[in-house]
Structure 1
Amino acid sequence: MPEVMLVEDDADLRLAAAETLELAGFRVHAFDAAAPALDVLVADFPGVILSDLRMPGLSGLDFLDRAREIAPDVPFILITAHGDVPAAIRAMRGGAHDFLEKPCAPELMLDVLKRAQAMRDLHLENTRLRQIRIEDRLIGRSAAMRDLRDKLRALARLQLDLLISGETGTGKELVARVLHDLSPRCDGPFVAVNCGALAETDVDRELFGTSDSPGLIARAAGGTLYLDELESMPDGLQVRLLRVVEAREITPLGAGPRPVDIRILGSVKRPPESLTAESRLRADLFHRFHATLPLPPLREREEDAAMLVTHFAAEAAARHNLPKPHIDSSLRRRIAYHDWPGNVREARNLAERLVIGLDTSFPQPGSAPGATDQLAGMSYDAAMEGFEARLLRFALIQTGGRKTEAAALLGIPRKRLYLRLRHHDML
């Protein structure tokens, strides 16, 4: 429920304003002077302040100064008489969010307060996200995840355009949101654009907007624009994006060029160098990004898999109001040795099935959906390496991790099994 701290010394005006606000769904905290309001004001007050300018004791301007010391992020709106407008304008320069002239139409008052409340809600949500430790959002104790978190902490505060690369399900959009939430732009919008879903017939209007309707790029002003699956964008549109990345300028339909203040994050499913070699990602666009952040697939951080499944299972159990499932040693072994073609998204889906009692079996090597597609573009040696790794994992799962039995199942000497396991970093 939206909240407002109403400070007005005129009892009739205070009562009328409070009734109007309560009927509109606001929780009203009404005061007849600034001093008692200051006594209860705290920095995390979730609403807005609406105060008269001229009051006995502390004036509205004095109240503004004190309120900004206690709660600098709470929007402060002044109510002024007609002759006090210059003072209200000075107050806005001093940090007031807006001002209203008496007599004020209820519709105008409500509109101003609702917009101020929306701004306050956004600030509080961004603050909440920033306070969530990065370790609780990007889960894992592997060296790869520790290194990724360190890089994000260092890069988030810099005004750099970054390209995030990683397989489907590795968490590219989550990484982009973390970069935004840890950046100085955290109070601005985060606008995600699925480049693969843009309709070519209406892409100009959708992305660049028109003279009277902002597009997705303009809506990210003051914040972050995230371009997902950049390689799926048509070549002609990639050319138009060059200007946006290079000059921070857009040209809406029916209008001239306009500057836009944004940070740009992009993502691709494969290493960008291979995409440029295949002409799926323009080299001149790729090189306009300052750096590339590769995300490790889950199969390369096996020690994180069980931790992720446990975490997602606890979330799913709370969401469905069901008990947390027990993950026994047999399931833990299968989790550890599974190849995870769907990465973190697959781990989340497994946890969901585990909680609601659906099948939690894993596909055998080579039988996973899309396994043939994963071989596309791979060399013979790379394909054979991948097949051997899956075969070794399957043997270990079947034998409960007992290596002597796994060697017998595969029909190879135990020493050779150890050598191949060491080769694949599975020991």
Structure 2
Amino acid sequence: MARKMAVMLIEDDQDLREATCETLEAAAFSVHTFGNAKAALENLDSISPDVILSDMRLPGMSGLDFLDVIRQQAPDIPFVLITGHGDVSSALRAMRAGAHDFLEKPCQPELVIDILRRAVAMRRLSQENEALRNRLATTIAPEDRLLGKAPVMVELRRRVAALGGLQVDLLIAGETGTGKELVARVLHAISARRNGPFVAVNCGALNQAEIDRELFGDTSVPGRLVRAEGGTLYLDELEAMPEALQVRLLRVVDAREISPLGMPPRQLDLRILGSVKGDPTQLVAQGKLRADLFHRFNAGALRLPPLRERPGDAEMLLEHFVAEATERHDLPVPNISTALLRQAAWYAWPGNVREVRTVAERLVIGLDVSLDEGLQERAVVSEGFDAAMEGFESRLLQAALLQAGGRKNDAASLLGIPRKRLYLRMRHHGLE
């Protein structure tokens, strides 16, 4: 029998506390009730709740103060706050401090139950992902998580292995979906800071005020620069950061010092990794990335190749992600037709590795997959003639080999060339 989801309920109104408890128990929750935050904290370790549901206004320690303590002691437990009418501003402050969600009184029972179930589901998914990452960390060399047999990927793994142990800030450049955060995590995993935290900030998903608060914090909540102490801070989409914040970040990167509002300066011990979408030199020319910040990060820049520049990798990645999704969903392995593999070899993959993962997921759960519509994207001129012809020849060889089932004599016949010439061109493209 599955374990009931454990809820820690903190509410000082006894009648409301008992009514909420009855509602949650009827929905198959295991409920532990408290009239104040102090008593709840004393029992936190023994209960190990899946989710905390707390009123905002409590005797002694308020709900907001309680949230701050929970974020320090048990940051992975989702925290849902119940607010009274007119407390919305405080609730928004709680969301910024890490609350999962908030409810405004009077709360609809169905909404309370739905939010708690979603919070628990998100926590369990996060725990499963963390367990998977830990399992991979113990069974696979970090640099080997960068999958691919194309020469550009072999070179990328070599560079990552060489730069991982160096205490330098790095810039990672690549199109959407090429695996910039994965490379950042690998660099962290093979560094001397691997036992410290890996803290990520997506600058493209936040406005200027949010980036400022997330990075530098405020009087009540430490920023991520402080939370990454002893580990690695990863700043995704640096080009989306407003120029004023790029200047402030540059000072921190140079001085390794932060001055929280109203507090003395604090020295920082961390490594900073940044990433940008596209060519950083073009971003500098366009005024999206400050030249001084680019050069400060450019001690060892890493360029991640798009999938269209990685001959043979799309098919290999598709099969890998299908196997991975099959295990995760506990479903039978689907048939990957030769026609689909040929399409994968020719398709432009605008979403890169992330798109391959999505296609694999659709295959495993039984949804239709066709890459025919995207094949026309190859007609877009995005590279020089010689490079385009090299890529065309590589894909043509791969398609012939796939159609021939790997039999080189048959592939040479399909192409109408001598077998020796096929061998020579395969060697040229690293397809042996």
Taking structure 1 as the reference length, the TM-score comes to: 0.60
Q: In structure 2, do the counterparts of structure 1 residues 156 and 356 end up closer, same or farther at CA, with 3 Å as the change threshold?
A: same
Residue 160 of structure 2 is aligned to residue 152 of structure 1: yes
- Counting matched residue pairs gives 306
Which one of 269, 294, 298 corresponds to residue 261 of structure 1?
Answer: 269
Q: Is the contact between residue 365 and residue 387 of structure 1 (CA under 8 Å) also seen in structure 2?
A: no
Shift in Å at residue 166 of structure 1?
0.8
Q: Distance in 2 between matches of 1:126 and 1:346?
A: 21
What pairs with 1:111-122 in structure 2 (closer than 5 Å)?
Answer: none
C-alpha deviation, 1:404, in angstroms: 9.2
- Which residue among 169, 179, 183 is the counterpart of 1:171? 179
Deviation at 1:208, TM superposition (A): 0.5
- Match status 1:241 vs 2:269: no
Amino acid corresponding to residue 157 of structure 2 in structure 1: R
Which residue pairs with 2:201 in the alignment?
193
Spell out the pairing of 1:14-413 with structure 2 (5 A cutoff).
Answer: 24=46, 128=135, 130-133=137-140, 134=142, 136-289=144-297, 290-364=299-373, 367=376, 382=384
Q: Using a 3 Å threshold, how does the CA distance of structure 1 residues 396 and 149 change in structure 2: closer, same or farther?
A: closer
1:156-178, Cα deviation, whole Å (9 max, x unpaired)? 11101010111111100000001
User: What letter corresponds to residue 232 of structure 2 in structure 1?
Assistant: T
* Higher Cα radius of gyration: 1
Instruction: Provide the rounded CA distance (Å) in 1 between the counterparts of 2:266 and 2:45.
Output: 41
Instruction: Indicate how the Cα distance of structure 1 residues 344 and 203 shifts in structure 2: closer, same or farther if over 3 A, else same.
Output: closer
AA at the equivalent of 1:362: L
Distance (whole Å) between structure 2 residues aligned to residue 242 and residue 349 of structure 1:
36
Distance in 2, Cα, partners of 1:364 & 1:403 = 29
- Three-state SS of the structure 1 residue aligned to 2:292 is helix
Q: Distance in 1 between matches of 2:317 and 2:133?
A: 24
| 8 A Cα contact 1:129 1:181, kept in partner | no
Q: Distance in 2 between matches of 1:221 and 1:299?
A: 38
Opposite residue 272 of structure 1, the aligned amino acid is: P
Q: Which residue of 2 aligns with 1:10?
A: none
Give the secondary-structure state (helix, strand or coil) at the position aligned to 2:201.
strand
Structure-2 separation of matches of 1:23 and 1:219? 23
Give the aligned CA root-mean-square deviation in angstroms: 4.2
The answer to whether the 8 A contact 1:205-1:253 is kept is no
More displaced 10-residue stretch of structure 1: 152-161 or 255-264? 255-264
| Distance apart, 1:23 and its partner CA | 8.4
* AA of the residue aligned to 1:304: D
**SS of residue matched to 2:253:** helix
Cα distance, 1:129–1:404 mapped onto 2, change above 3 Å: closer
Deviation >4 Å, runs of 4+: 20-23, 123-129, 365-368, 381-407, 424-427
Q: Which runs of 5+ in 1 are unaligned?
A: 2-19, 27-110, 408-417
Q: Which amino acid aligns with 2:341?
A: R
Q: Residues 192 and 135 (structure 1 numbering): CA distance in 2 closer, same or farther, change over 3 Å?
A: closer
1:363: how far off?
A: 3.7
- Give the secondary structure class of the aligned counterpart of 1:167: coil
Report the CA distance shift for 1:212/1:393 in structure 2 as closer, same or farther (over 3 A). same
Q: CA–CA distance in 1 between the matches of 2:45 and 2:387?
A: 68
Deviations 1:223-255 (A, max 9, x none): 100010111111111111111111111222333
* C-alpha deviation, 1:308, in angstroms: 0.8
Query: Structure 1 CA distance, aligned partners of 2:414 and 2:45?
Result: 73
Q: CA, structure 1 residues 320+128, in 2 after alignment: closer, same or farther (shift >3 Å)?
A: closer
SS in 1 for 2:312: helix
Letter of the 1:132 partner, please give it: T
Q: Matched residues in 1 for 2:180 and 2:147: separation?
A: 14
- Percent sequence identity over matched residues? 52
Deviations 1:297-349 (A, max 9, x none): 11111222221111110111122221011223222222222222211111111
CA contact 1:322–1:355 (8 Å) conserved in 2? yes
The DSSP-based 3-state class of the residue aligned with 1:226 is strand
Q: Which residue of structure 2 aligns with residue 33 of structure 1?
A: none
Q: Which moved more, 1:263-272 or 1:314-323?
A: 314-323
Partner Cα distance (2:385, 2:254) in 1: 39
Unaligned runs of 5+ in 2: 4-41, 49-69, 78-126, 405-410, 417-421
Taking structure 2 as the reference length, what is the TM-score of the superposition?
A: 0.59
